[in-house]
């Protein structure tokens, strides 16, 4: 570590949320930051063809909202001004189901729990607007063909652009690969004489079907409705109330099961996983536009942190490093945390930026990736190899979720951890474990007493 370097020019590949967050951080340490994006970027909240999943429900976790606000001051107020619902300590606005359990959130949470409910297009547009307003950040529509690698220096020195059939070299002190799950960085590393990163994967086989709705006023008090899949129910549902007064309804399946293909089939899923009042409200809704479909086959973590050598001048970022199971809604928050790592390392003057960033990213990725994998492989019934300890941990957590159905303290603990507020580790302290055991023992004893056969009064008493 040393004095923070000042870069003349940094290049970000991709104007995704990850790329824009990286550009914001770099703007404090660079004379000029250029973000190259091959897609047409709308000048208002709108869907983008290069983001096929943006029509589906995206949950902005409380931790993610805080992290985005630290990067882009005023972002949350701007979203609220645009009509984005703000749920401030309002647990009655949330219906949350996980692994077949509906958490007991119908009580006031003991500590502040604020959630924002923007559509993906609204959130991305607001972040892009804030990033573009920075005086030294420029967003350019252009395709990056490949980084330029200098073999003698063992470093990336810029990027080669492709436009109108011509190629142009642009020099850069630092290149950030925020090109998403389809990143070509592993192939580039191989071409430059480095090893490809190992990959950890979970074959989740998720299928999405999303329908925009208009639901008559007064039918639903909640603004966030989530019902996850379980071993016995391979279809789940997420529904959010958006800034324009419409609802986004996403039904999803796991295990490579086909997602619902019609609105009637989506309503059938709602009938199975939601309370009758919520399912009835969906049936009374007016569908808007066509159903959007999407597939997410595999969660993938590229272990750049385990490489023995890595070129200078380039860092992987966002989904180019790890793409989480999107049904948990944690991907955007984890990207914001990675931006925090980049900010701290640049400020500290890291001399091995790529190595330090990949290591820091791995430390925050591990607990979230592990708990997601346990949920997928144990609680959701996804096929695949797993360490022996996944199953007992998953079964114990299933017991915890069962207790959280009626215990608001346990429900709050889960929601705060699931939202990544208190810790990235879903490891309950002794007090929470004890409360869970007492709750489940009391429930077992109460059920045993109600199901015990009645004593025949004509029989002689026991002696």
Q: Half-sphere exposure of residue 7, counting CA atoms within 13 Å on the CB side?
A: 26
CATH class for the region spanning 206-296: alpha beta
CB-based contact 287:210 (threshold 8 Å): no
- The C-alpha atoms of residue 166 and residue 182 are separated, in whole angstroms, by 23
Within 8 A by CB and 6+ apart from 269, the residues are: 235, 236, 237, 251, 260
Report in angstroms the alpha-carbon separations of 380 from 16, 330, 384, 418, 436.
Answer: 30, 17, 12, 17, 22
In our burial notation (b when 16+ CB lie closer than 10 A, e otherwise), range 135-157 reads: eebebeebebebbbbeeeeebbb
Ranges of residues in the chain whose predicted pLDDT is under 70: 1-3, 52, 89-92, 97-113, 451-463
Residue found by looking up tokens 């996850």 in the block: 228
pTM for the model stands at 0.90
- Using DSSP, state whether 315 is helix, strand or coil: strand
Tokens of 446: 């109460």
Q: Give domain limits for the chain.
A: 7-58+119-201+300-372, 206-296, 390-446
The per-residue pLDDT for 108 is 42
Give the pLDDT confidence score for residue 221 in this predicted structure. 86
pLDDT of residue 463: 42
Residue 131 makes CB contacts below 8 A (sequence gap 6+) with: 20, 23, 24, 35, 72, 137, 139
Q: Which residues pair with 96 in a beta bridge?
A: 226
CATH number of the 7-58+119-201+300-372 domain: 3.50.50.60
The helix/strand count (H/E) of the chain reads as: 12, 20
The CA distance from 422 to 414, in Å, is 10
Residue 430's pLDDT is what?
A: 86
CB distance 251 to 123 below 8 Å:
no
């Amino acid at each position: 570590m040393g004095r923070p370097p000042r870069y003349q020019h940094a290049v970000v590949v991709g104007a995704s949320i990850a790329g824009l967050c990286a550009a914001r951080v770099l703007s404090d340490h660079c004379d000029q930051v250029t973000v190259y994006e091959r897609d047409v970027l709308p000048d208002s909240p709108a869907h983008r063809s290069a983001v096929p999943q943006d029509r589906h429900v995206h949950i902005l976790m409380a931790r993610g909202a805080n992290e985005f606000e630290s990067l882009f001051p005023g972002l949350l107020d701007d979203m609220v001004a645009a009509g984005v619902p703000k749920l401030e300590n309002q647990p009655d606005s949330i219906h949350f189901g996980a692994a077949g359990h509906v958490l007991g959130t119908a009580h006031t949470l003991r500590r502040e729990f604020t959630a924002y409910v923007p559509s993906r297009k609204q959130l991305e547009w607001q972040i892009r607007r804030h990033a573009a307003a920075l005086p030294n950040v420029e967003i350019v529509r252009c395709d990056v063909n490949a980084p330029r690698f200098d073999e003698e220096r063992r470093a990336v020195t810029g990027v080669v652009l492709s436009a109108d059939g011509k190629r142009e070299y642009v020099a850069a002190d630092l290149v950030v690969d925020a090109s998403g799950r389809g990143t070509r960085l592993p192939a580039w590393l191989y071409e430059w004489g480095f090893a490809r990163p190992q990959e950890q994967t979970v074959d989740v086989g998720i299928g999405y079907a999303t329908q925009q709705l208009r639901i008559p006023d007064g039918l639903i008090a909640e603004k966030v409705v989530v019902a996850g899949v379980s071993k016995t129910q391979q279809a789940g549902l997420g529904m959010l109330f958006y800034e324009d007064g419409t609802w986004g309804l996403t039904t999803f399946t796991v295990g490579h099961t086909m997602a619902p293909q019609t609105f009637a089939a989506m309503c059938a899923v709602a009938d199975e996983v939601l309370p009758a009042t919520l399912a009835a409200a969906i049936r009374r809704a007016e569908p808007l536009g066509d159903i959007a479909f999407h597939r997410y086959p595999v969660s993938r973590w590229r272990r750049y942190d385990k490489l023995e050598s890595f070129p200078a001048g380039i860092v992987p970022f966002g989904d180019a490093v790890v793409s989480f199971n999107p049904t948990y809604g944690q991907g955007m928050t984890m990207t914001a945390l990675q931006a925090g790592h980049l900010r701290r390392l640049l400020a500290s003057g890291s001399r091995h930026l790529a190595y330090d960033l990949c290591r820091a990213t791995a430390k925050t990725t591990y607990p979230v990736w592990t708990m997601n994998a346990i949920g997928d492989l144990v609680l959701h019934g996804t096929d695949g190899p797993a360490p022996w300890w996944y199953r007992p941990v998953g079964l114990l957590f299933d017991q915890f979720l069962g207790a959280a159905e009626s215990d608001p303290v346990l429900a709050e603990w889960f929601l705060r951890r699931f939202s990544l507020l208190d810790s990235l580790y879903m490891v309950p302290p002794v007090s929470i474990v004890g409360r869970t055991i007492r709750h489940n023992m009391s429930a077992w004893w109460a059920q045993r007493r109600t199901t015990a056969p009645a004593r025949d009064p004509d029989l002689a008493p026991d002696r």
